[in-house]
């Protein structure tokens, strides 16, 4: 066991600072202290009443068994003691009444630990939502980059396919390359490519795999 901010915390079950666990432990400790003090005050009140009764009886016995001249001598002293005792009694009763009033109010206050735990749960959920929003934003940015790169690659491939169908080949070896390319490209694509119209998207997509292997 170790002392932590005035609290005794078990080392195997530590509580983070200002957590509901610490506050709940502090509340229980303070309640025990207040209960102990209230019990001690009640016991002392009973003891004071008993002592006061004994003093009254002893004062009566003193007056009966003491000569008149001696009673006159000690009477002022006894009166001073009586005044001081009454003053201390009043002050003690006022302090006890103030303590008991505060004690009752504190006891009636509900335990804040459940509300604090609920607030912590909401805070954790809010933090998780914020983290998910940041992650979602990063994923969207990454997806936009991938889409942009894919569009660039698609345009490049489309340009290469279009250039492969544009005009008859020329130069040395052009005939053999054209014949090889014709064998690579499907018949319907070759037939359409020989016309005057440019290849359609369907033709381009059909010819794309063979063209990529050919290139």
Q: Cβ(142)–Cβ(176) under 8 Å?
A: no
Which 3 state secondary structure label does DSSP give 191?
helix
Check residue 101 and give its pLDDT.
87
The DSSP call for residue 171 is: S
* 198: Cβ contacts below 8 Å, ≥ 6 apart: 162, 165
pLDDT at 204: 55
Supply the DSSP string of 73-99, one letter for each residue.
HHHHHHHHHHHHHHHHHHHHHHHHHHH
Which pLDDT value is given to residue 113?
A: 75
How much is the pLDDT for 210? Answer: 55
pLDDT for 136: 93
pLDDT at 203: 57
Q: How far is it, in rounded angstroms, from Cα 77 to Cα 68?
A: 15
pTM: 0.39
Give average pLDDT by consecutive 10-residue segment, the chain, 215 residues.
41 47 70 84 82 84 85 86 87 88 83 80 90 93 91 82 60 49 48 47 56 49
For 18, list phi and psi in degrees, rounded to 5. Answer: 60, 20
């Amino acid at each position: 066991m170790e002392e932590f901010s005035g609290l005794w915390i078990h080392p195997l079950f530590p509580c983070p600072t200002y957590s509901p666990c610490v506050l709940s432990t502090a509340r229980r400790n303070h309640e025990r202290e207040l209960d102990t003090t209230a019990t001690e005050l009640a016991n002392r009140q009973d003891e004071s009443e008993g002592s006061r009764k004994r003093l009254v009886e002893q004062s009566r016995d003193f007056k009966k068994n003491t000569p008149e001249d001696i009673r006159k001598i000690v009477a002022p002293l006894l009166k001073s003691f009586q005044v001081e005792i009454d003053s201390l009694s009043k002050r003690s009763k006022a302090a006890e009444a103030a303590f008991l009033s505060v004690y009752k109010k504190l006891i009636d206050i509900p335990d804040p630990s459940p509300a604090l735990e609920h607030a912590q749960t909401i805070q954790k959920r809010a933090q998780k939502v914020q983290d998910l929003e940041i992650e979602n934003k990063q994923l969207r940015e990454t997806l936009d980059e991938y889409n942009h790169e894919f569009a660039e690659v698609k345009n490049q491939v489309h340009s290469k396919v279009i250039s492969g169908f544009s005009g008859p080949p020329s130069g040395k070896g052009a005939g053999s390359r054209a014949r090889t390319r014709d064998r690579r490209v499907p018949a319907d694509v070759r037939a359409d490519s020989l016309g005057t119209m440019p290849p359609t998207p369907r033709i381009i997509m059909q010819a794309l795999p063979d063209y990529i292997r050919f290139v």
